[in-house]
Amino acid sequence: MSSSLRWFIGLVVTAAAPLTFAAEVALLNVSYDVARDFYKDYNPLFQKFWKAKTGESIAIKQSHAGSTKQVRAVADGLEADVVTMNQATDVDFLADKGMVAKDWTRKFPGNASPYTSTMVLIVRKGNPKAIKDWSDLARPGIQVILPHPKNTGNGRYSYLAAWGYALKQPGGNDKTAQEFVGKILRNAPLFAAGGRDATTTFMQRKIGDVLATFECEAELIAREFGRGEFEVVYPTLSVLTEFPVAIVDPVVDRKGTRKHATAYLEYLWSREGQENAAQNYLRPRDAEVLKKHAAQFPSIRTFTVEEVFGGWSRAFPAHFKDGGSFDRIYAAK
């Protein structure tokens, strides 16, 4: 064979070589910061399930950061097949940009949230300041630790929980709620940079009398700092926090992974997925699994953001955008 023919054949074989490999399907799951442990446990479960069901190997990559930064990255071109967030506002942002279906809440059961959590109060061992409810956070002399209520999802949920609590008191309206929440904010010596920073400030630096955070954080605190170091106080009324998931349409259509992405998210509602949620101290939607783990999930009266505030699309501009109630509280000082 002439050398140029050999060269040509070699080139064709090399170019065709990648096509001969079974192309492994890869999904990118763009998620919020503290979901690391959850997906570290969940992904192998799904991979096993998918392999058993279709014989196909599937690779799942995770990306974790602050939820708002993540959706901005997805809107700017990060090739996420699915997004799994901790606030509806972030998924709504993608829906506005056309990256997620406008009716994403109806694509999966339970408002597209496979598990829920709620906001609880963490106090020192023995509860020396006798903190029982949100009203105790507004007492003079109590120091409240929470992450920045305007900038962090964790903080925003606590803010709305306290606001909703005040609305439900006799004679409660937006004005009294704003005063009440204002009192709580004034009892905060600082605003932590994030949920974990708030936990560190409360537990390690021993600042503050009470920490308002997600119920699932309580388990983390127990594992990190020891169960004897703190107590969890369940308020009489709290907000139900939801963790919406959605498929990013342009990406799955381009990559041809819609079937895989849909199955990946649907599996969150399966028995294994719900068990995994319970293991990570997130309240599963499945009533049976929830009952099985009733010991770690005391019953608590909760309201949803939809019920009290008309959904995040109303609550967010009303409270957390510039000019909203948070800014008004500080302007009035």
Partner 1 sequence: MSRRSDVLPGFRLGLGYTLAYLSLLVLIPLGGLLLAGASMTADQFWTIATDPRALASYRVTFGASLAAAAINALFGFIVAWVLVRYAFPGKRLIDSLVDLPFALPTAVAGITLATLYSSNGWIGQFLEPLGIKIAFTPLGIVVALTFISLPFVVRTVQPVIEDIETEAEEAAASLGASRWQTFVRIIFPAVFPALLTGFTLAFARAIGEFGSVIFIAGNMPMISEITPLLIISKLDQYDTPGATVLAVVMLVISFLLLLAINALQWWSVHRYQGEPGELGPPRPVAATTGAAA
Contact positions toward partner 1, by CB under 8 A? 66, 68, 72, 93, 148, 150-151, 188-193, 197, 200-201, 204-207, 316, 320-322, 327, 330-331, 333
At position 186, the amino acid (one-letter code) is R
Q: How near is the Cβ of 323 to partner 1 at its closest, in Å?
A: 9
Indicate the residue among 147 and 273 with the shorter CB distance to partner 1: 147
Q: How near is the Cβ of 265 to partner 1 at its closest, in Å?
A: 24
> How many Å apart are CA 153 and CA 164, to the nearest integer?
16
Cα 284 from chain centre: 14
Q: How near is the Cβ of 133 to partner 1 at its closest, in Å?
A: 25
> How many Å apart are CA 207 and CA 274, to the nearest integer?
35
Indicate the residue among 287 and 331 with the shorter CB distance to partner 1: 331
Q: If you compute the radius of gyration of the chain from its CA atoms, what whole number of angstroms results?
A: 23
Distances in Å between the Cα of 189 and the Cα atoms of 51, 131, 144, 148 are 52, 18, 7, 11
Indicate the residue among 97 and 168 with the shorter CB distance to partner 1: 97
Sequence-ordered list of residues with C-beta below 8 angstroms from that of 142, at least 6 positions apart, any chain: 129, 131, 136, 187, 209, 210
Q: How near is the Cβ of 148 to partner 1 at its closest, in Å?
A: 6
Eight-state DSSP code of residue 119 = E
Indicate the residue among 267 and 320 with the shorter CB distance to partner 1: 320
> How many Å apart are CA 13 and CA 30, to the nearest integer?
36
Indicate the residue among 8 and 330 with the shorter CB distance to partner 1: 330
Q: How near is the Cβ of 283 to partner 1 at its closest, in Å?
A: 26
Q: Which letter, b or e, does each residue of 283-310 get, where b requires 16 or more Cβ atoms within 10 Å of its Cβ?
A: bbbbeebbeebeeebeebebbebbebbe
Q: How near is the Cβ of 156 to partner 1 at its closest, in Å?
A: 10
Indicate the residue among 42 and 93 with the shorter CB distance to partner 1: 93
Cα 204 from chain centre: 24
